[in-house]
Structure 1
Amino acid sequence: MPEVIFNGPEGRLEGRYQPAKKKGAPIAIVLHPHPQFGGTMNNQIVYQLFYTFHERGFSVLRFNFRGVGRSEGAFDHGSGELSDAAAALDWMQAVNPDARSCWIAGVSFGAWIGMQLLMRRPEIEGFISIAAMANRYDFSFLAPCPSSGLFVHGDKDRVAPVNEVISVIDKVKVQKGVKLDHAVIEGANHFFENRVDQLVGTVGSYLDRRLGIVAE
């Protein structure tokens, strides 16, 4: 898995990039949880999402936000991290100029950043938001949500209670043809301890459905 360094707004950003075998493959970026609570691109869920996309033919990137690992800069409470995510998408598009589509995935804090990037970049056609912290971050900017996607949360999540996430989803207006799905993993907490396999299976099934992949 190639290690990559690319330019971000506050210096170099460290990532891991796995190109697809086919030219013109779709691209995906995976965003990690909160940097001040141990979130890195090596988070288990980020790692599993990375391979879930790659197994379906995507060129995929995960990277460390500013101030994490070998990424330069310092934590910026979301604003700078959104700029980092935009820089990551720019880099992916430069490396994959023939990519036919683009997806964004995020975990916890990364889900909040990913949804903001979705609103700014019309080329993003699908998203996966894991354990979105709707109780701590304002998601009202999704007005209307421009692309279909999947929210996944655990029913034992005390950090971002499932009811608050569902109430946010229910309030979001969507553009015509856009559908917001949400799945609840029974017994899962905010970190999906002992439930990562179920989480990955849920995301994989959703991607298969969206991509039209038929199980053999």
Structure 2
Amino acid sequence: MSALFFPVRTSDLSGTSKLAWRFFLPGSTSKGQNIRLECWLCWQFHVYDAIHAAAVTEKPMSRPGEEQVVIEGPAGPIEAVVTTGDRAGLVAIICHPNPVQGGTMQNKVVHTLMRTARDMGASTLRFNFRGVGRSAGEYDYGVGEVQDCLAVIAWARAELQMDQLWLMGFSFGGYVAAAAASELPAWPERLVLVAPSVEKQRFGDLKPLGGAAIVMMGEADDVVAPQSVYEAFADEADSTVVRFADTGHFFHGQLVPLKTAVEEALS
């Protein structure tokens, strides 16, 4: 009896799309009752070739209009990517999810935030926290990462002539963005937090926030408890929480609605 193979998709905790090859024996009552073999392959930086059974590693992507830069940070060089917009002085800086769980500036939600700001004419800057990619240092539980973000903001003011800041972050990066905003002399023009980590990081220490925040939250999030986010912002009168029905942490199938909501928040 021959085994039949079929591909399925899933994601790890970083939001990285992965390809799983499963097999089953014909004649069983359902696929769920079949013996399954799952071979997890990194899909963000590798492409699985089923014919030759080989994984091909790709170099970091350089898209038209993007410039890779190195910013001096408190733990050493910080790897970053900049796009230049036509609205002088307006820069969107985006913080990525937890490095321990594979979060990088290549995350798809981070890309969605970047593309939203870019399409609205802002220059954009996304970067890897310490110990991620080509950034020096090691994970610092959100403490050093806030200092990384502040260093990036200072660099943008000096090198990009930034005088208006849209600060955004996803998950762990949402906490970092809010914490960095709290240390700035002036609150960002916009602070957008997507599924911010309010439990694992000491978000309560930031309250009350020094200004308005716009929060994007999936009602089916299985990484950050939605109720904990609702409670964290219930007494923040200037902040708004936008809820997405039937949406998980990584906004699978909901990136277009997310982009639309962020556009409205930035307008």
Structure number, greater radius of gyration:
2
Q: Same fold (TM over 0.5)?
A: yes
Bigger strand fraction: 2
Give the aligned residue type for 1:196: L
Checking the alignment, whether the CA contact within 8 Å between 2:142 and 2:201 is kept in structure 1 is no
SS in structure 2 at match of 1:60: strand
- The residue that corresponds to 1:121 in the other structure is 184
- Residue from 10, 17, 30 that aligns with 2:82: 17
**Percent of residue pairs identical:** 30
Pair 1:54-2:118 in alignment = yes
2:101 paired residue among 33, 37, 48: 37
Q: Aligned residues, how many?
A: 201
Q: Which runs of 5+ in 2 are unaligned?
A: 1-65
Residues 187 and 195 in structure 1, CA contact (< 8 A), matched pair in contact too:
no
C-alpha change, 1:143 and 1:69, in structure 2 (3 Å) is same
CA distance in 2: counterparts of 1:170 and 1:20, whole angstroms: 35
The aligned counterpart of 2:20 is none
- 2:219 pairs with one of 155, 158, 173: 155
Which stretch of the first structure deviates more once superposed, 44-53 or 136-145? 136-145
Contact between 1:66 and 1:81, CA under 8 Å: does it hold in 2? yes
Deviation (angstroms), 1:29: 0.6
Q: Which amino acid aligns with 1:28?
A: A
If asked which structure has higher relative contact order (CA below 8 Å, sep 6+), I would say: 1
Correspondence for 2:91 among 13, 27, 36: 27
Q: Which residue of 1 aligns with 2:210?
A: 146
2:228, 2:235 → 1: CA distance? 11
How far residue 5 of structure 1 moved from its aligned partner, in angstroms, is 0.8
What displacement does 1:107 show?
A: 0.3
Match of 1:83 in 2: 147
CA root-mean-square deviation: 1.4
The unaligned stretches of length 5 or more in structure 1 are 209-216
Match for 1:13: what amino acid? I
Cα deviation for residue 26 of structure 1 reads 1.2
Task: Say whether the 8 Å CA contact 2:198–2:204 is kept in structure 1.
Answer: no
CA positional deviation for 1:22? 4.0
TM-score by length of 2: 0.72
Q: Scaled by the length of structure 1, what TM-score is found?
A: 0.88
Q: Which runs of 4+ in 1 moved over 6 A?
A: none
The letter of the residue matching 1:78 is G
